[in-house]
Amino acid sequence: MQRVWRLYSEKLPSGRKLNKKVDQVDAQVTSKLHATVKKVTEDIERLHFNTALSALMELLNVLEKQDVLAPDAARTYATLLAPLAPHLAEEVWEYSGGKGFVIDQDGNIALLSVGTYFGLPGGGIEEGETAEEAFVRECVEEIGVRISIERKLGVALQSRAKVVKQYQIHYFIARVVGQKGVPTTVQEDELAVQFGWYPIDKVRSLLEEQIPRIPLNGQKSDIPSDNYA
């Protein structure tokens, strides 16, 4: 995994967010990305984790040969890596973003999933956006709904050992406005992501290892004050 750290720390252009489309991916990398998305998605669904990891290593070999790691390629790789190494993928995926709990008219909550890995909708902040605006935009793209943000839970400062860069994730609670639609994303990495609506008790069990202290009931969070802003 040290190779992944080096790839993101040395070849991802400084100051650019992973979800911002600024660099075109060349034809060789694009072809390999498409093939790897298909291979890893199928392998994870079949619980063939060793072959999924092997496919990711082959893609890593291609990315390491590039002079610069294009943000779209970086985000795709992190998305595919998430089911196999969620903490590593989370660290290199987004440096600043907005995510949260989106509640529908039946009281269910939206979750994204790749294989057995579950997460909240949302994503990185693009240039000129606030965290709230990024969260609203990502909900349209990822789960096909327009939302009204009810309240902000806080800002989690993500920092673990061997972190490439520290980043912040702004967490919100929001409700669906109007009818549910379909996701509008056209990004290759997001096309591999599934989503569904789950009752709150199920959400607790699916996310307890990833965000164990983000409150689901609107009460005050027990995250230490030095981790929240």
Query: Do 62 and 125 lie in a common domain?
Result: no
Residue 108 confidence (pLDDT):
96
∠ at Cα 1 (11, 206), nearest 5°?
Answer: 110
In which band, very low, low, confident or very high, does the pLDDT at 15 lie, cut at 50, 70 and 90?
Answer: very low
Query: Do 13 and 37 lie in a common domain?
Result: yes
Query: Do 207 and 104 lie in a common domain?
Result: yes
In this structure, the strands spanning 96-103 and 167-177 are: parallel
Residue of 106, 105, 108 lying closest to 197 (CA atoms) = 108
Query: Do 11 and 39 lie in a common domain?
Result: yes
Residue 225 confidence (pLDDT):
28
Query: Do 117 and 206 lie in a common domain?
Result: yes
Which residue segment(s) compose the domain that 143 sits in? Answer: 94-215+222-227
CATH (domain of 39): 1.10.730.10
Return the higher-pLDDT residue of 110 and 227.
110
Task: Look at residues 63, 90, 117 and tell me which one is the last residue of a structural domain.
Answer: 90
Query: Do 125 and 210 lie in a common domain?
Result: yes
- Could you read off the pLDDT of 99-149 as tens digits, one per residue? 999 999 999 999 998 877 888 999 877 766 788 998 999 999 999 999 999
Query: Do 45 and 57 lie in a common domain?
Result: yes
Task: Look at residues 90, 125, 151 and tell me which one is the last residue of a structural domain.
Answer: 90
In which band, very low, low, confident or very high, does the pLDDT at 16 lie, cut at 50, 70 and 90?
Answer: very low
- Could you read off the pLDDT of 144-185 as tens digits, one per residue? 999 999 999 987 755 444 444 545 678 999 999 999 998 887
Percent of the chain with pLDDT over 70: 72
pTM exceeding the 0.85 threshold for the entire prediction:
no
In this structure, the strands spanning 109-114 and 194-198 are: antiparallel
In which band, very low, low, confident or very high, does the pLDDT at 186 lie, cut at 50, 70 and 90?
Answer: low
Residue 213 confidence (pLDDT):
46
Task: Look at residues 34, 59, 90 and tell me which one is the last residue of a structural domain.
Answer: 90
